[in-house]
Structure 1
Amino acid sequence: MKDLAPPHVPVIIVGGGQAGLSVAWELRKHGIESLVFERHGRFHSWRENRWDSFCLVTPNWQCRLPDFHYDREYGGTDPDGFMVKDEITAYLDAFAARTAPDLREGVEVRRVAPQPGGGFVVETSAGAWAADQVVIATGGYDTPIEPDYAGDLDPGIFQMHSVEYRNPEQFPEGGVLIVGTGQSGVQLMEDFIRAGRKVHLAVGPAPRSPRRYRGRDATDWLYEMGHYAITIAEHPDPVKALTQTNHYMSGRDGGKEIDLRRWHVDHGVELHGSLAGMDGTQLRFLPDLARNLDDADRSYCGIREMIDAHIARGGIDAPAEPPFARVWEPEEEPVALDLAAAGITSVLWAIGFRPDYSWIEADVFDARGKPVFERGVTAHRGLHFIGLGWLNTWGSGRFLGIEEDSRHLAGQIAAQMADARVGA
């Protein structure tokens, strides 16, 4: 008896987050059938991988899923606010209900294999499918990053990665060392301070941004200036854009900027340089705290200067702001710390994630394992990516840019499929 051919679908989308469902909606508008596989449940990372106090860092008006903007089709009433976790998932669920994708939850894609005659076999935990086109919408947050030397830490010290963090009550009594000062690290710092805990922070090279400046949210000014419309091809320093950590600030309590110097002065946060190693309870740091703080401030002031120049060019009536002033400078930079002596009982890793594309059998990755594409379209016909940072602009991979990216990609898929029909 011959083996039955796997069922065929024109487009398979791997990943049931906002990027995958946005592409499915845009494909439907082209009359193209798609099937979405999600190994957990829809919007899993928003429901399960965010902490209890999580809220957006960018204002709600930037939530612009295709044909479903927060302050238009969704009917949101606080465009300048910052949705908390449950509000975000409610918005996403409403989008899914409106677009009704063919979504198979709890199905893990284990292999995507190009076929000699074109198309792909997609092997899943629920069987195999054939597809003409495949869209990878899994994002870049597959594997939590912890350094190898984390294994050298005294086993009596509690460790956790931010992906598992929900609230400070998960941690034993005592001080906590948070490693990483991207958007996650600085917000978790505040969580512990509010809980009355002693916080030590290993400060990395992440830049920071103003929150409100000269009467408006800084992101409003940057959007008006066209800053977020700059493509990666137009960017003056694309390597920096692709590798730089996001600017840190917060949407909590209506939005605030984060100045680590002030958190040291006002809340007693102990600041250290980049973590370099561990041995038992002994930690080593690089002597780069002052440089990292200065670099973050340079980024902060640079954004203010861009806004000032925009206001001056346009003759815009906007309130003046006092010049930036540092409230604290490190007098010395100790490169060693004994956790036991400092009363630190926990380490919280907030240094990011790396993607896992080992299940994709196509030659579309560079030497570092990152996919190579032009606006999501790879050199291997029919294989595409969506929902990654700087797919095209800063907004790619965020709510702000997903409408444009998914619309463009759906158009490219439709064109490739039309070409295939003509050539058949």
Structure 2
Amino acid sequence: MPNSETQQTDTLIVGAGQAGLALSYWLSRAGVEHVLLDRRPELGGAWQDRWDGFYLNTPNFSIDLPGMPYDGPEPEGFMPRDEVVTLFRHYAQAIGAPVRSGADVTRISPANGGFGVETSEGTWRARKVVLATGAYQVPKVPPLAAAIPGRIFQLHSHEYRNPGQLPDGEVLIVGTAQSGGQIAEELHSAGRQVHLAVSSCPEAPRRYRGHDILHWILNLGIHGPEYGLNAFRTEQLPSPAARFACNPLLSGTDGGHAIHLRDLGRQGMRLHGHLDGVDDGELVFTDDFPERLVSVEAGFGQRLQPLFDAYISAAGISAPPAEPARVDDWLPASSPRLNLASENITTVLWATGYKLDLGIVDIPVLDEWDYPRHSRGVTEYPGLFAVGLPWLSGHYSSILGGVGLDAEYLAGKIGEPPY
């Protein structure tokens, strides 16, 4: 039963995933009274929504929760889903996070110089509110999904659990970011014929110049500005839409590895261009497949590699020389049209990412992408903050290796005297 009495606290954190818990750690150290509300009945955040065989794409060494950095025996390993969930439950207990589970927030609005927060468990009043709802909120499925015949089983990667969940027949995966690549490999290993609609997400090596690629991403993002290298800072993004660009095509399974689309084709997966439409039972793909492959393969060398090399040089780091760029001109057969019935495609799996949904915020502070207008998490509306969103202050803002930095900064702002 919902609590009929209005409850109060100084600071209310909406969401008890990695960002909310990291902020709770710093607020506790600053002596700020606070409560975390989480809609799930148990802690573990959005990691609980991943499929059975999911592994983190980021190595264990990058798990750097405030007060509890990774200190296990496999810093270069990759953690499976259930271990990640257990990690967060242990972390919440270790830091004494004041979490109220099963409290689904439905509205946040101004009230008496602070905020009124309506939830499935009653109403709260708080002087300050922090949005820590994460980046994986609403599965994004393109409108053309409605044109696919009803006999085809459709699901988003958010709903995928294992190969046995899908009906017999061939599977089309739309999207080749990290989830699409990992699920494609899992289905192929289970003996399923997989088709891939290739997106624009770049390929990248799992390791570069002696370290996992995440080592360089984190160090460049955190320490790059010390050497005048600010490419991984939010202010350097070419446009606000770039906050939602896909990450390099990498996997944490089998000890971690890079995924190369041409290799998937050699293994027997069928590759296609971007899914462009549906026409009388046929899928229509763009006819730019060869050029798309070249663009995907060139992404690392054009953007990330020069930045890493510049950082290594500027910081005076002794690192092995870069390996020669991979050269591969093998081209699988590809058709711009695919008949669902004749190819026995019975499943379309949308690995098309997520979109933000902050419709609970009844305050005019969101932009056209539903992203709060802010300066490093301090929104335009006094007393309202955000943490854990993509590119909040830099590339690292929504990943385990960097979310604590933004949380520490925000805790200082939240602990300042009242407005």
Deviation at 1:233, TM superposition (A): 4.3
Letter of the 2:367 partner, please give it: D
SS of 2:57 mapped into structure 1: coil
User: Quick one: structure 1 residues 78 and 279, their matched pair in 2 at CA, closer, same or farther if it must change by over 3 Å?
Assistant: same
Match of 1:132 in 2: 127
Deviation at 1:227, TM superposition (A): 6.9
Match of 1:203 in 2: 198
Does 2:20 align with 1:20? yes
Map Cα deviations across residues 270-307 of structure 1 (whole Å, 9 max, x no partner). Answer: 11111111245311111232232222211132334554
Letter of the 1:364 partner, please give it: V
User: Quick one: structure 1 residues 322 and 233, their matched pair in 2 at CA, closer, same or farther if it must change by over 3 Å?
Assistant: closer
SS of 2:301 mapped into structure 1: helix
Letter of the 1:66 partner, please give it: P
Deviation at 1:412, TM superposition (A): 0.7
Match of 1:81 in 2: 77
Letter of the 1:339 partner, please give it: L
Map Cα deviations across residues 47-71 of structure 1 (whole Å, 9 max, x no partner). Answer: 2x11111111111111111111012
Which residues of 2 match residues 15-94 of structure 1 at below 5 A?
15-40=15-40, 41-47=42-48, 49-71=49-71, 76-94=72-90
SS of 2:12 mapped into structure 1: strand
Map Cα deviations across residues 331-351 of structure 1 (whole Å, 9 max, x no partner). Answer: 6x5321101112211110110
Contact 1:65 1:403 in 2 (8 A): yes
Deviation at 1:372, TM superposition (A): 1.1
Where does the alignment leave 5 or more consecutive residues of structure 2 unmatched?
225-229
Quick one: distance in 2 between partners of 1:320 and 1:19?
A: 34
Match of 2:167 in 1: 172
Map Cα deviations across residues 243-284 of structure 1 (whole Å, 9 max, x no partner). Answer: 42111111111111111011101x111111111112453111
User: Quick one: structure 1 residues 401 and 344, their matched pair in 2 at CA, closer, same or farther if it must change by over 3 Å?
Assistant: same
Quick one: distance in 1 between partners of 2:369 and 2:240?
A: 14
Q: Which moved more, 1:87-96 or 1:103-112?
A: 87-96
Quick one: distance in 2 between partners of 1:25 and 1:328?
A: 51
Map Cα deviations across residues 359-417 of structure 1 (whole Å, 9 max, x no partner). Answer: 211111113332111111101001111111111111111101111111111111111xx
Deviation at 1:139, TM superposition (A): 1.3
Match of 2:338 in 1: 337
Give the superposed CA RMSD.
Answer: 2.2
Does 2:348 align with 1:347? yes
Match of 1:411 in 2: 412
Contact 2:62 2:214 in 1 (8 A): no
Match of 2:328 in 1: 326
SS of 1:396 mapped into structure 2: helix
User: Quick one: structure 1 residues 33 and 373, their matched pair in 2 at CA, closer, same or farther if it must change by over 3 Å?
Assistant: same
Where does the alignment leave 5 or more consecutive residues of structure 1 unmatched?
none
Quick one: distance in 2 between partners of 1:236 and 1:55?
A: 29
SS of 1:123 mapped into structure 2: strand
User: Quick one: structure 1 residues 103 and 94, their matched pair in 2 at CA, closer, same or farther if it must change by over 3 Å?
Assistant: same
Deviation at 1:214, TM superposition (A): 3.6
SS of 1:133 mapped into structure 2: strand
User: Quick one: structure 1 residues 90 and 318, their matched pair in 2 at CA, closer, same or farther if it must change by over 3 Å?
Assistant: same
User: Quick one: structure 1 residues 377 and 182, their matched pair in 2 at CA, closer, same or farther if it must change by over 3 Å?
Assistant: same
Letter of the 2:327 partner, please give it: A
Contact 1:176 1:200 in 2 (8 A): yes
Quick one: distance in 1 between partners of 2:392 and 2:237?
A: 16
Which residues of 2 match residues 206-355 of structure 1 at below 5 A?
206-225=201-220, 230=230, 232-235=233-236, 237=238, 239=240, 241-265=242-266, 267-279=267-279, 281-302=281-302, 303-307=304-308, 314=316, 316=318, 318=320, 321-329=323-331, 334-355=335-356
Letter of the 1:355 partner, please give it: L
User: Quick one: structure 1 residues 227 and 329, their matched pair in 2 at CA, closer, same or farther if it must change by over 3 Å?
Assistant: farther
Deviation at 1:327, TM superposition (A): 4.2
Q: Which moved more, 1:390-399 or 1:318-327?
A: 318-327
Quick one: distance in 2 between partners of 1:219 and 1:131?
A: 38
Match of 2:227 in 1: none
Match of 1:386 in 2: 387
SS of 1:13 mapped into structure 2: strand
Q: Which moved more, 1:296-305 or 1:366-375?
A: 296-305
Letter of the 2:65 partner, please give it: L
Quick one: distance in 1 between partners of 2:310 and 2:198?
A: 30
Quick one: distance in 2 between partners of 1:315 and 1:367?
A: 41
The correspondence for 2:103, drawn from 103, 107, 118, is 107
Which residues of 2 match residues 108-123 of structure 1 at below 5 A?
108-115=104-111, 117-123=112-118
